[in-house]
Structures are given as C-alpha cells and as structure tokens.
Amino acid sequence: MPLSKLWVIAYRDLFRHRRRSVFTLMAVALGLALLFVMNGLISGMMAESLQNSIRLRTAHLQLRAASYQEDQLGLQSKDLLADPAGLVAQASALSQVQAAAPVLWVGGILNTIDESAGLQVMGIDATSPLYEPIRSGIVAGAWLAADDRDGVLIGRGLADSLKVGAGQKVSLAIVNADGQPDEGIFTIRGLFSTGIPGYDESAVFMTLDKAQAFARTGARASAVMILLNDRAETDTVAAALRRPDVAVLTWTDLNSFFVETMQLASSLYVLLDGIVISIVAVIIANTLLMAVFERVREMGILSALGMKGGQIRQMFLLEGASLGLAGVAVGAVLGLLGVSYLATTGIPLSEKTAAVAGSGFAIGTTMRASFDWGTFAALAVATLIIVLLASLYPAWYAARLEPVDALRD
C-alpha cells in the first residue's frame, strides 16, 4: 500500500476522535511553549545580569597588582598599581578598547545623624566614558565635576534608606593606607539609579584625586578598568596587556561565581526540559495505545485483507508524527509569543525582591526573556523526536496483532 494511502487512513483515524486528538495536540503544544518560555526567561536573565555586571562592576578586563585581594580592598603600596596612568595609556592605544580608566576602591561607612551604612567607596575618573551608565542614571542633582574635591554620588536606594538627598552633607569614615581611621564631610552632588538595587545601595563615587588624597595612596590605584568594543576580543587584549608585575583579569575571571552558578542552573534546566518532554511522550503513547485498543478488529480486518505488519506500524507512526508536527508548530507559535511578551514587558520585581534575588548578581527590577534561537530549535526537534519514539511501542503492538485473534476480540 502506498504511503499516501496510509497517510489518508492515519488522518481519518485521528479525526475519528477529534476531542482526544485535539487534547493530545495541545498537550504537546503547551509543553513546548512552556519550554520556550522557561528557557527564554533564563537565557534573558543570564545575559542581562552578565551585561549589567560587566558595564557596572567589572568591565571586560581589569589590571591589578598581583598581590591585590578584592575582598580586603587593600590600600598598601604593594597591593596597588604604581603607574595606573601608564597602563591606561597602553590600553587606550589598542583599537579593541572602548574605554580605560583607573579606579581606587576603599571600604567605608557613610553616616548621617540617624543612620549609617557600610559600602564601597569608588574613586573614579569622572570624565571617562566607562561610567556612562552611572552618568545617564542621575535622577537628582548632577554628575561629579572633574575637579570636585568634596562631592560624592550615591544611589537613590541608599539615599532613601539613609533619608538624605542631593545637596545634603554626610560623613564618610574609612581606614586609610596608613592603617589609621579617617573621616571627612562630603556633599551629595547627585543621586543615581542604575535599575540594579543591590548596586545602587552599596556604592559611593568620588573623584579619583580626592579618593587618593583621602585614603593617602598617592597616585596609586586599585585597578585599571577596561571596556571593549566587542567581548569576543577579551583574550586578544588580555594577551597584549599581560605583564609580569600586573595581573590581567578577564570578565570570566571577575564573574566566575556567576558563570559557575549559571552553568549549574542550565544543567538543572536541561533536566527540567527532559521531564516536560517525557510527560508529553507519555501522553502521546497513551493516546496511540487507546487508539490501538479501540481498533483491534479494524487491525484484524486490514491484516486479513493483506496489509502487512510494517504498513500497520507505519500508519501509527504517521499518526504520532502528525500529532507531533502539529503540536510542535502550535507550541512554537505560542512559545514565541510568550517569549516576545516577556522580552518587551517582562516580569516586574519590587526593589526589595530584586535586591534579595540579586545578591551577588546584577539583577534588575524587571526580569526579561530573550530569543535563544539555537535552544528553541533544539527543543522543537527534541520534542518531535521524543514524540516519534513514544509512538514506536503502540505501532509495534498494533503490528504484531494476529488477524485471527484480532477478529475474535
């Protein structure tokens, strides 16, 4: 019997029980749509969090003294770069570099009359484009002038918790490079909001010259931050800047905890994907087995008329393939619509929730999905393959029915 005839019979049998076929098709479609949305959301969160971390915290590359320990924010001469200006000039000469600037990190405590908060003081080159995300996020007051000697910038979240605003004075206490406590009075020049609550509540900016004078580090800096035009050029630029007395850290080194956590999360999502697809496979197998049991006599008649077991097997595989293809098509459309909605509108989070969820990660107040076409294609193909595999047992069972026994039932 030609394949076209088998297709006609399979098509007719599917519409013999339309409600069951439609429910099975929707199970496949909804399962695949769910996988699209889940994977699109996790892909979007990973990409956005990494991009936020690079543009706000780590840049693509950092040059540090070999002995510098980030968790201690050391200010001793041996832990700081002796010639940050020379390193900036060397990095800026490379065509792959978009911006390079020195930074001095100091641990500090910001005090008001009623409140205090531990944070990281950042002495920055206020003219560098490296800090454009902060400059563009000013929501009150103004950006730091290059020669500002007593002004600071703080995040709006920190300002709200301390109940202060632009133009007010605050006290900042640090332990300087000599190991002595020091305190200064500064004016809040402006408030910024990056959309990352955890970041906005933990940093205070001042000009690099003032930070160096305040911390008594001379012209030294904690690191040179380097932003590239293309992240793919990271290894090339790192190799060009590598020196015996300087540690060159890439964005993967600087975000190692995040990368490892996301790799673990991706593994768990693969397991979850497998569970969802397996459930769909069970539904398909159950539907086709029910069709076999209902059509035992029909199978016996077809066998008696000369239809071979292989042809009966092909007929049920065609039924499974039809349900699978239709379900994958509908599921892909529904899934892409869901991903599109989450990519544009997203899932809003409160600042407190984002701060808790983003502890150690640069998660904003809106979770957005992204279109990971490679993953989506793999999920669609995997779903179709699993559906076909799930059809094998019902098809094999139907093909091995003996005509005499089938007609007797």
Q: Same domain for 268 and 380?
A: yes
The rounded Cα 57 to chain-centroid distance in angstroms is 16
Residues 181 and 137 in one domain: yes
In degrees, rounded to 5, the angle at the alpha carbon of residue 125 between the alpha carbons of residues 86 and 227 is: 70
Q: Is 320 exposed, middle or buried (0-12, 13-18, 19+ CB in 10 A)?
A: buried
Phi-psi region of 168 (alpha: psi -120 to 50; beta: other; left: phi over 0): beta
Backbone angles phi, psi at 150, to 5 degrees: -140, 20
Q: pLDDT (tens digit, 9 = 90+) per residue, 366-405? A: 778 888 898 899 888 888 888 888 777 666 665 555 554 4
Last residue of a domain, one of 216, 244, 272: 244
Judge if 221 and 269 occupy the same domain: no
pTM over 0.75: no
Residue 287 domain-assigned (yes or no)? yes
Distance CA 367, CA 42 (A): 9
pLDDT of residue 114: 79
Are both 238 and 280 inside the same structural domain? no
| Residues 83 and 196 grouped into a single domain | yes
Strand-strand pairing, 138-141 and 181-192: antiparallel
Residue 403 resides in a domain: yes
Would 253 be classed as within a structural domain? no
Question: In terms of domains, do 72 and 127 share one?
Answer: yes
CB 14 within 8 A of CB 319: yes
Instruction: Going residue by residue through the chain, which has 409 residues, state the pLDDT in tens, using 9 for 90 and above.
Output: 454 555 555 556 656 666 777 777 888 888 889 889 988 888 888 888 888 888 888 899 999 988 888 767 778 888 899 899 999 999 999 999 999 999 999 988 988 877 888 888 999 999 999 999 899 989 999 999 988 889 999 988 888 888 888 989 999 999 888 888 889 999 999 999 887 777 788 889 999 999 999 999 989 999 999 999 998 999 999 999 988 888 999 988 888 777 777 777 777 777 888 888 788 777 777 776 666 655 555 555 555 555 565 566 667 677 777 777 888 899 999 999 999 998 888 877 665 554 444 445 566 667 788 888 988 998 888 888 888 887 776 666 655 555 544 445 5
Q: Can you give the residue range of the structural domain that contains 220?
A: 67-244
In a domain, 252, yes or no: no
Is the domain of 263 the same as that of 403? yes
What pLDDT, on the 0 to 100 scale, is given for residue 171?
92
Final residue belonging to a domain, choices 185, 218, 244: 244
What's the total number of domains in the chain? 2
Same domain, 114 and 227: yes
Q: Are 46 and 77 found together in one domain?
A: no
Write down which residue in 189, 212, 244 finishes a domain: 244
281 domain residue, yes or no: yes
Taking only the tens place, the pLDDT of each residue in 3-33 is: 455 555 555 665 666 677 777 788 888 888 9
Q: Is there a contact between 38 and 269 (Cβ–Cβ < 8 Å)?
A: yes
In a domain? residue 164? yes
Same domain, 106 and 239: yes
Whether 60 is in a domain gets the answer no
Q: Does residue 217 lie within any of the structural domains?
A: yes
**DSSP-based three-state secondary structure for 131:** helix
Shared-domain flag, residues 16 and 160: no
Are 16 and 73 found together in one domain?
A: no
